[in-house]
């Protein structure tokens, strides 16, 4: 791991290490340390696991807990100022488990692109353990542990990093708003094969940028590279954090501000998405499938469904027999949001399904924008 890797990691977790060696240690697996000397990430993982629990419980309680004095009908003379919660203990335990479960933490590591940076022993490399969810979970916790030690148990910093990496409030929210952070990450991976460069820090524009404020839009010219920078700030004078985002192949630096690192990142990603949409740079449904074909049509339809273009297709089968008594299969394909349905007939049930899936696939690719 080199200094550039460490810089990228710090940008992606929204925290700058005073001791970068701790961050590198978070990526060192035990077998590598045994083979090469030095410390591994297991103690950091232990620390991070406990710190993560505390922060997540704090966030959950802040989301669903309240005091009776906060209620409109509270009577100071007759009511006790007790602590209440919208959910029972069992429900709270369930919510917490969902937020910190192996799969959730592994998905966060995948989204951040950190698994490939693990420092592995020879046996680990041979077995490709970086692909295992449990290993990604350990890495997530070790990074939090490194932040705990580097910040000297500064809970404000620790919670900031947990929120930035895990996005727990987004997961607790019942809203169905678009997740622009994930949309931009997916776009960048598909277009460039890498995640966007994102830097989040305290708002301080005098160092690198000259700016012109126009209503709620601010345009910057970076003095070092001369690139135009575009920012959309809802409350320009009340914000404290700045987020800069760079997409490979787009000759702009996108900048925004927010009252938190999470908010600043969300705002800039929404702005980038709007820019891509305005300039016709977003992928269409036709871009999702590289090579539509009959053999893979069933899976290709499901890929489109899981990416939100429509519901999972359903298939209805009817068995008939020809004049010689041989079975003939009719398969009908439906998609909930579409008026058209298609059918195919074959002597093979599997072949009938492939054929009708391919008919539906061609239809959605030809007719959907």
In this structure, are residues 359 and 341 in contact, taking their beta carbons and an 8 Å threshold? Answer: no
Does residue 70 carry a catalytic annotation? no
pLDDT at 117 over 90: yes
| Domains parsed from the chain with CATH numbers | 3-172 (1.10.1520.10), 180-278 (3.30.160.20), 285-367 (3.30.160.20)
pLDDT at 217: 45
**b/e map of 249-287 (b: 16 or more CB within 10 Å)?**
ebebbbbbbbebbbbbbbbbbbbbbebbeeeeeeeeeee
**pLDDT tens per residue across span 60-113:** 999 888 888 888 778 888 888 899 888 888 888 988 988 999 999 999 998 888
pLDDT at 167 over 60: yes
pLDDT at 178: 59
Angle between helices 133-150 and 102-112 (to 10 degrees): 80
User: Residues 344-352: what's their mean pLDDT?
Assistant: 93
pLDDT at 314: 92
pLDDT at 212 over 80: no
Q: What is the mean pLDDT of the chain?
A: 84
pLDDT at 160: 92
- Among 124, 137, 138, 141, the one annotated catalytic: 141
The larger pLDDT score, comparing residue 154 to residue 275, is at 154
pLDDT at 185 over 50: yes
- Among 5, 42, 49, 296, the one annotated catalytic: 49
pLDDT at 115 over 50: yes
Q: Is residue 345 helix, strand or coil? A: strand
pLDDT at 61: 93
pLDDT at 206: 41
pLDDT at 201: 75
The whole-angstrom separation of Cα 274 and Cα 271 is 5
Does residue 49 carry a catalytic annotation? yes
For residue 317, name the pLDDT band (cuts at 50, 70, 90).
very high
User: Residues 246-261: what's their mean pLDDT?
Assistant: 83
Other CB atoms within 10 Å distance of the CB of residue 42: 15
Structure tokens given for 184: 């931009």
pLDDT at 332 over 90: yes
H or E stretch including 356? helix 349-367
């Amino acid at each position: 791991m080199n200094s550039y890797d460490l810089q990228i990691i710090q940008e992606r977790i929204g925290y700058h290490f005073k001791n970068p060696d701790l961050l590198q240690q978070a990526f060192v697996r035990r077998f590598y340390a045994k083979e090469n000397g030095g410390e591994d990430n297991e103690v950091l993982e232990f620390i991070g696991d406990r710190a993560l629990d505390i922060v997540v419980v704090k966030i959950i309680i802040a989301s669903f807990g309240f005091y009776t004095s906060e209620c409109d009908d509270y009577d100071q003379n007759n009511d006790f100022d007790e602590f209440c919660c919208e959910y029972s203990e069992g429900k709270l335990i369930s919510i917490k488990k969902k937020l910190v479960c192996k799969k959730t933490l592994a998905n966060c590591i995948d989204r951040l692109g950190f698994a490939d940076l693990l420092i592995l022993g020879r046996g680990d490399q041979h077995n490709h353990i970086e692909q295992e969810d449990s290993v990604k979970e350990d890495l997530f916790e070790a990074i939090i542990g490194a932040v705990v030690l580097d910040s000297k148990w500064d809970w404000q910093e620790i919670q900031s990093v947990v929120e930035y990496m895990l996005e727990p409030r987004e997961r607790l929210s019942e809203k169905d708003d678009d997740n622009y952070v994930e949309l931009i990450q997916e776009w960048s991976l598909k277009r460039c094969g890498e995640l966007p460069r994102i830097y989040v820090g305290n708002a301080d524009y005098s160092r690198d940028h000259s700016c012109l404020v126009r209503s709620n839009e601010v345009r910057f010219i970076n003095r070092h590279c001369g690139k135009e920078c575009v920012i959309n700030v809802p409350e320009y004078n009340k914000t404290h954090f700045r987020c800069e985002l760079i997409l490979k192949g787009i000759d702009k630096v996108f900048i925004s501000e927010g009252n938190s690192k999470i908010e600043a990142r969300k705002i800039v990603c929404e702005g980038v998405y709007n820019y891509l949409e305005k300039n016709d740079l977003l992928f269409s449904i036709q871009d999702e499938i590289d090579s539509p074909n009959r053999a893979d049509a069933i899976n290709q339809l499901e890929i489109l469904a899981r990416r939100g273009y429509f519901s999972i297709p359903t298939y209805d089968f009817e068995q008939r027999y020809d004049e010689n008594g041989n079975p003939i299969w009719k398969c009908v394909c439906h998609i909930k949001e579409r008026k058209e349905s298609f059918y195919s007939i074959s002597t093979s049930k599997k072949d009938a399904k492939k054929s009708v899936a391919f008919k539906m696939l061609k239809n959605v690719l030809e007719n959907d924008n």
